[in-house]
Chain A
Amino acid sequence: MHLNNNITLYCTIVKNVVYKNEVPVFENRDADLPAFLLSVYQHFELSYPKFYKMDNLSKLGWLASEVLLKNNAIKDYQPEEVGLILSNANASLDSDQKYIKTVSDIPSPALFVYTLPNIMTGEICIRNNFKGEDAFFIFEKFDPGFIESYVNNLLNNNILSACICGWVDVLGDDYKAVLFLVEKGKEENSIPLSKKNLDSIFENLIIDKV
């Protein structure tokens, strides 16, 4: 049993600021959500044409995963060893509202495909060739206790070797993304996977690294 699963990297995107491991790495205070997401894409010099057709939920989650994994050796794992356990409150309601407006005229397949929250998971898997287990859970609020126990279970039972987990929620201009990379080994500056540490990072508090 590996009981020393660790948060080795984390990324938060909230209130038009991008944080990598608590350090603000980009901000664009005055933009609306679509413009802000585009500015993040451009700032980090990402080149991925599929980005432009994604809905806002997928764009947000995908950008958070890009910033999370930038300059990281995650590709050393086999595709089947990496998975995603994601959650939010509003599922795909942001895109559901946009899709329903097209129904009375010509229903849009390009919008309908984004009316499931785990499409975001698929976008991140396609980009990184992650083929391990994925799951999407709906909670009223971020549930660090559930994430801790569920991800520990996946890693301790060798279902995954690395897991990207967390919260990505979008509804209109309200949004928040917090992604954690959890691995079995301990890296320099890694933080033990615990309810308290997940919650502290989610709330953007100073982390107790002890």
Chain B
Amino acid sequence: MLAVYVVADNIYSPLGATTAQNFEQVKQGISGIKKHHNLTLADEPVYASLFNSNEISNHNQLKYSLFESLLIASIEAVLGESRISATDTKTLLIVSSTKGNISMLETNADDPDLKDRIALHTSARLVAEHFGFVNKPLVVSNACISGIMAILTGARLIQSGQYENVVVVGADVISKFVLSGFQSFQAISAEPCKPFDENRTGITLGEAAATMILSSNPKYTDSIKVLGGAVSNDANHISAPSRTGVELAQAIERTLSIAGLLPDDIDLVSAHGTATSYNDEMEAKAIALAGLDKVPTNSLKGYYGHTLGAAGLIESIISIQSLKQNLILPTLGFEKMGVSNPINVCTTLTSKRLKTCLKTASGFGGCNAAIVFSK
């Protein structure tokens, strides 16, 4: 099968406008999470990682929504440097998002055109037109595994020979719609989230965009490779994770099998680690079932919050930087083991030779995903 290389990437977040800026901040233990008292979001103050509205470059409000501007800013920051051509017939754009332009339900008049303006396929088309992509873009919207699924889908479309290059971009904006929904589930933490910690009390939300450019072109042989991935469903509950973790473990095991790896070959696990009681408990069980409980594991939610459709991309890109710099990042917010099946949660910045990283995620609808990157 064709090798798939990660040619270039970008993280566009409240912590910075490039992957390098983001990694430097995260390395220093700086978090984008702050207390915000914004009445358009909620009556009470809330912790979240949010942009200041004047931070978004090239935000042409007449033409593009905030969501679309984030997608464009992230792609723009990296497409030129990658020297991949958007207008090449062998290049595809994939967009990952859970809610896209949904804040327009709060801000726009309810007229017959609104449904098309909100639609994710409209945003994808506008972004594709902005850069001149000739192929019709693909949109993945599969809850919190969207980002990993978008990378996996891109890798497969390259391996099957349909495309040579895929630009995978993901973003979500935090609006009252999203925040109030998670609050209605009692899922939002009153303080910055504490993944895997015994005192964790829930999610902190975040907004960001991220881009990963994939290619099979042999000139990128020295780049990090996507070795494969897998997706599974719990078939248990639409909003609560599996009680056993068996299905996420199966996705991990299948991923290792596709990549031709054993658990001992994994040097780092970048977990979903949302800091809800049930998610972290399930994930720890799955990581242990897959034989990875001794492998250094982190969650990056303490730096970015849960960035929904961008999360899988951001956390994969940071983990790829970890591989490149042989540096394991600590899990910000974690102090004391709070899952019944102990795993090796990273707590300090550690230099170590790293070759291979596993990234996982799980989401509403019972979905689980895993993907593996390697030098």
Among the 9-residue stretches A11-19, A41-49, A127-135, A184-192, the one with 4 or more Cβ atoms under 8 Å from chain B is A127-135
Among the 9-residue stretches B322-330, B349-357, B361-369, the one with 4 or more Cβ atoms under 8 Å from chain A is B361-369
B247 — nearest CB in chain A belongs to which residue? A131
A133 touches B232 (CB 8 A): yes
- One of A90, A117, A129 near B235 (C-beta < 8 A): A129
B233 touches A139 (CB 8 A): no
Which among B143, B183, B237, B250 has the highest number of chain A CB atoms within 10 Å?
A: B143
* A96-118 interface code vs B (CB 8 A; 1 in, 0 out): 11011001001111001101111
Among the 9-residue stretches B2-10, B31-39, B115-123, the one with 4 or more Cβ atoms under 8 Å from chain A is B115-123
A93 touches B235 (CB 8 A): no
Asked if A119 meets B140 with Cβ closer than 8 Å, knowing A129-B235, A133-B231, A138-B119, the reply is no
Is B230 an interface residue when CB atoms closer than 8 A count as contact?
yes
- One of A89, A112, A135 near B142 (C-beta < 8 A): A135
**Interface members, chain A 72-103 (any B CB < 8 Å):** 79-80, 83-84, 89-91, 93, 96-97, 99-100, 103
> What A residues does B153 contact at CB under 8 A?
135
Smallest beta-carbon distance B137→chain A, Å = 10
Q: Which of under 10, 10 to 19, 20 to 34, or 35 or more describes the interface residues of A?
A: 35 or more
A118 to B177, CA, bound (A): 18
B105 — nearest CB in chain A belongs to which residue? A100
A149 to B161, CA, bound (A): 11
> What A residues does B230 contact at CB under 8 A?
133, 159
Tell me the dominant secondary structure on chain A's binding face: mixed
A83 to B142, CA, bound (A): 14
Is A121 an interface residue when CB atoms closer than 8 A count as contact?
yes
B119 touches A153 (CB 8 A): no
Which among B237, B363, B364 has the highest number of chain A CB atoms within 10 Å?
A: B364
**Interface members, chain B 123-167 (any A CB < 8 Å):** 124-125, 138-143, 149, 153, 156, 160, 162
B140 touches A171 (CB 8 A): no
A119 touches B365 (CB 8 A): yes
Is B239 an interface residue when CB atoms closer than 8 A count as contact?
yes
> What A residues does B115 contact at CB under 8 A?
90, 93, 171
Which among A106, A130, A132 has the highest number of chain B CB atoms within 10 Å?
A: A132
Asked if A96 meets B138 with Cβ closer than 8 Å, knowing A116-B364, A131-B234, A132-B232, the reply is no
A126 to B235, CA, bound (A): 4
A126 touches B236 (CB 8 A): yes
Is B189 an interface residue when CB atoms closer than 8 A count as contact?
no
> What A residues does B236 contact at CB under 8 A?
126
Smallest beta-carbon distance B109→chain A, Å = 14
11 A/B residue pairs, CB under 8 Å, sorted by A: A79-B235, A107-B184, A115-B181, A118-B364, A122-B233, A126-B235, A131-B247, A134-B365, A139-B139, A146-B138, A149-B160
State the A residues within 8 Å of B (CB).
79-80, 83-84, 89-91, 93, 96-97, 99-100, 103, 106-109, 112-113, 115-119, 121-123, 125-126, 128-140, 146, 149, 153, 159, 171
